[in-house]
Amino acid sequence: MLALDYLRRSRRITPEIEVKAIEYINVGYQRLLTFEVAGGGFDWYGKAPANIVLSGYAVLEFSDMARVYDIDTRIIDRTRAWLFAQQKPDGSWPMPPQTSWSWTGLSGDYVVTSYVAWCLAESGYKGAELDRACTWLRDHLDEAKDSYAVAIAMNALVIADPKGKETEILLADLEKRKIESDDRRMAYWTQDGKTAFYAQGDSAHIETTALITNGLLKGGFSPNTVNHALAYLAQKKHANGTWGTTSATILALRAILHGMGGIEQKATTTVTFGLNDAERKVSIDPDQADVLQLVTFRDGQRELARPGSNDISIAAQGETACMAQVVGRAWIPWKDVPSDGKKALDIRIDYDRTLLTKDDVLTATVTMTYNGTTPTFMICADLGIPPAFVVDDSAFEKMVKEKSLDRFSMTSRQITLYFGTVQPGQVVTFSYQLRAKYPVKAKTPKSSAYEYYAPDRRGEAEPIEIEVTEK
């Protein structure tokens, strides 16, 4: 949705791209509808009881979707009505019960109320329910303890009352919390605790910075800080084009999209990229200043980067506000993978044998250990499927039935498992079977376990070589 909005605004969309984007949005729209709870609201898996924070996010997501795609807007009305029924007389929304999918560890009712109020305001809603929520937020400013809580409240109030005294208080608080890079070209905010979607560490910092940037842009505040924060978000983008978690990516895109009306480029700029002795030039016209340009250093299938150190240069002729990101990829032997000490998660996969014949059944045993110091609320395990094998999913269906696993999905190359609450020191062990379809000799694909909302907290299993013979 945000990508399609960006392409339309930048006038770089083609009919082919638009058709493909709308196709993806349609699939996502139909998928999202399955998470609505009978009686109103949304839940992680569409099961009662509905979740207040997730329902607020649904209002915002469907409202965003309605800007670029024709949806049945009654779902927005239904979800708003459900949220209003959960609102307390004083205007706040309560912290959900402390279940495996609660928001334990956040700043209580303040974050929940701020989040729902922001979703309603950002979606364009104006009504008594939002007014009461904003009044409650103003009266309870002292409950905004961390940067994330302040950021969410600021986003709600900057839309409802951008010139209000309380909005100015929150902005001043955030200015004091701001961290600048040594060269003062980047600015960001950190979050010690979890966000509304469990992010912590780097992912939480990105979410918090993106939210604050979004609010500053909405209110027209601190343009210099906005530019520095956008530079931080650009620098934090991963090589695959995302910002790690789904929530961090969406919030970063939202901030960047709102920041598209920044410094205007008035003439053609030529940018020269250098890698060792190779050179690439790109000319950027004013009407293409906000369009991503991708430059690769490759001669056919041959990579021009060399082993060891490489010299990289970027030079621009002309005035431009464009930002650049350099991405490199390398493969190293497993034995040379650096160890960072004890990881938050360990995963190991043991196979009952590594030499078998066609149609034999292979048993894999997974051992996953969570080494964190506090409970975590969503661990994913991505299990690579060896080439030429087909998986028997009955073991995973049994785990779901026994409630030791929340959910699983499979493709031809990977099994993804979703675990709910996992306690510190907890060890999860299970086995599943695979059948060899035809002869092959190959190493097993990468398997990993990670916290869904903090994907940098992860562990990976060592690949194993497996051989399948004809007889």
The CATH number of residue 396's host domain is 2.60.40.690
Q: Which tens digits make up the pLDDT trace of 375-431?
A: 887 899 999 999 999 999 999 999 999 999 988 999 889 999 999 888 899 999 999
Residues 6+ apart with CB under 8 A from 315: 271, 272, 274
Contact 146, 191 (CB under 8 A): yes
Statement to judge: residues 144 and 10 lie in one domain: yes
Q: Which pLDDT score is estimated for 326?
A: 82
Residue 331 counted as domain residue: no
Q: Which pLDDT score is estimated for 264?
A: 61
Residue 142 pLDDT > 60: yes
Nearest-angstrom CA–CA distance, 184 and 420: 41
Which of 143-157, 241-255, 354-368 has the lowest average pLDDT?
241-255
Residue 316 pLDDT > 50: yes
Q: Is the overall model pTM greater than 0.85, yes or no?
A: no
Q: Which pLDDT score is estimated for 343?
A: 82
Residues 6+ apart with CB under 8 A from 256: 230, 233, 234
Most confident region among 82-91, 226-235, 292-301 by mean pLDDT: 82-91
Statement to judge: residues 65 and 209 lie in one domain: yes
Residue 326 counted as domain residue: no
For range 263-275, the mean pLDDT: 80
Question: What band does 100 get if pLDDT is binned at 50, 70 and 90?
Answer: very low
> Of 196 and 408, which is predicted with more confidence?
408
Q: Which pLDDT score is estimated for 99?
A: 46
Residue 119 counted as domain residue: yes
CATH of the domain at 28: 1.50.10.20
Q: Which tens digits make up the pLDDT trace of 101-121?
A: 444 445 578 889 999 999 999
Statement to judge: residues 140 and 182 lie in one domain: yes
Nearest-angstrom CA–CA distance, 427 and 405: 13
Statement to judge: residues 20 and 108 lie in one domain: yes
Residue 186 pLDDT > 70: yes
Which of 177-191, 295-309, 455-469 has the lowest average pLDDT?
295-309
Q: Which pLDDT score is estimated for 447?
A: 93
Q: Which pLDDT score is estimated for 263?
A: 53
Q: Which tens digits make up the pLDDT trace of 327-350?
A: 877 777 877 777 666 688 999 999
Residue 330 counted as domain residue: no
- Which residue shows structure tokens 């970063």? 252
What strands, in cross-sheet order, belong to the sheet with 454-461?
Answer: 407-410, 414-419, 379-384, 447-451, 454-461
Catalogue the E-assigned strands of 300-451: 302-303, 312-317, 345-351, 355-357, 361-370, 379-384, 389-392, 407-410, 414-419, 427-436, 440-443, 447-451
What mean pLDDT value characterizes the chain? 85
Most confident region among 191-200, 236-245, 422-431 by mean pLDDT: 422-431
What percentage of the chain exceeds 70 in pLDDT? Answer: 89
| Sign, CA torsion 39/45/47/52 | negative
For range 183-189, the mean pLDDT: 90
Q: Which pLDDT score is estimated for 107?
A: 52
Statement to judge: residues 363 and 312 lie in one domain: no
Statement to judge: residues 186 and 223 lie in one domain: yes
Statement to judge: residues 6 and 65 lie in one domain: yes
- Which residue shows structure tokens 């110091």? 373
Statement to judge: residues 159 and 296 lie in one domain: no
For range 188-199, the mean pLDDT: 85
Residues 6+ apart with CB under 8 A from 448: 347, 381, 382, 458, 459, 460, 461
Residue 201 counted as domain residue: yes
Statement to judge: residues 55 and 174 lie in one domain: yes
Residue 152 counted as domain residue: yes
* DSSP three-state, residue 269: strand
Q: Which pLDDT score is estimated for 256?
A: 82
Statement to judge: residues 139 and 39 lie in one domain: yes
Q: Which pLDDT score is estimated for 242?
A: 83
- Which residue shows structure tokens 């979800």? 79
Total structural domains in the chain? 3
Residue 15 pLDDT > 80: no
Statement to judge: residues 107 and 242 lie in one domain: yes
> Of 378 and 270, which is predicted with more confidence?
270
Nearest-angstrom CA–CA distance, 343 and 444: 22
For residue 200, the surrounding DSSP H or E stretch is none
Residue 327 counted as domain residue: no
Q: Which pLDDT score is estimated for 290?
A: 63
Q: Which pLDDT score is estimated for 139?
A: 94
Statement to judge: residues 299 and 222 lie in one domain: no
Residue 324 counted as domain residue: no
The boundaries of the domain holding residue 358 are 341-469
Residue 45 pLDDT > 80: no
Q: What is the largest CA-CA distance in the chain?
A: 79
